[in-house]
Amino acid sequence: MAKRSAPEVNAGSMADIAFLLLIFFLVTTTIPKDSGINRKLPPIEENDEDVIIKQKNIFTVLINGKDQLLVEDELMELEDLRAAAIEFLDNGGDGSCDYCNGKKDAASSDNPDKAIISLKNERETSYKTYISVQNELVAAYNELRNRRALLIGARKGFPDMDFVKMEKNFKDAKFVGNKDKLKEVIDQIRNEYPEKLSEVYTK
């Protein structure tokens, strides 16, 4: 008896099936975008020791229930907050901060290490305004750090790299360069402009 070969399966509709699946995955795909503003909450401490901080070293930002901004007891628009925060942080009133470019106003903050931004909101404040304010305050710190990074980085062998980019490079596994040195620069800038943002819990 003659050997009969197995009949070939018709693969003509394979493309259709693949297309169907393709379209399903195309539609359901959501490219995840997990980004946001990182914050660290203060731990709950038992001892309530009052630390005495000079009033001039505190930059109070209050957002009221109507989403109005009260900065140092004066009404302010959101657009002006960043500049005001930078001016406060970079003031360098006691002269110990040799890298500050501020006015050295004796009535404003002593140095960036002592300067504290205090953020207060009411329960009726809307979340989007709160995030906008947080964003502007982070931006103020970032701007100061970026400026510093461009200065120091050029001397330490990381030219044209601002602070945000330095941090990104530090996390990037593919970065070619001396990471230990980069870490040193980042830590130095972090120490020079520490992020001191305190939030008041509103019951």
Partner 1 sequence: MSKFKNKKDDALPAVNTASLPDIVFMLLFFFMVVTVMREDTLLIENKLPLADQVEKLEKKYPISYIYAGKPTKAFEDRYGKEARLQLNDKFAEISEIESFINSERLSIREELRDFLTVSLKVDSEANMGIVSDIKQELREVNALKINYATGSGSALDN
Where do contacts with partner 1 occur on this chain (CB under 8 A)? 11, 14-15, 18-19, 21-22, 25-26, 28-44, 63, 78-79, 121-132, 134-136, 138-139, 142, 171, 201-202
Give least dist CB 71 to partner 1, A. Answer: 16
Q: Which is nearer to partner 1, 84 or 97 (CB)?
A: 84
Alpha-carbon span 202 to 16, nearest angstrom:
59
Sign of CA dihedral 133, 138, 144, 147: negative
Alpha-carbon span 137 to 145, nearest angstrom:
13
Give least dist CB 180 to partner 1, A. Answer: 21
Give least dist CB 59 to partner 1, A. Answer: 18
Q: Which two tokens stand for residue 87?
A: 């001016």
3-state secondary structure of 115: coil
Alpha-carbon span 164 to 180, nearest angstrom:
17
Give least dist CB 107 to partner 1, A. Answer: 29
Alpha-carbon span 179 to 20, nearest angstrom:
48
Give least dist CB 135 to partner 1, A. Answer: 4
Sign of CA dihedral 143, 162, 166, 151: negative
Q: Which is nearer to partner 1, 36 or 159 (CB)?
A: 36
Q: Evaluate whether 91 touches 105 at the Cβ level (below 8 Å).
A: yes
Q: Which is nearer to partner 1, 99 or 130 (CB)?
A: 130
Q: Which is nearer to partner 1, 39 or 103 (CB)?
A: 39
Q: Which is nearer to partner 1, 18 or 154 (CB)?
A: 18
Structure letter (DSSP) for residue 57: G
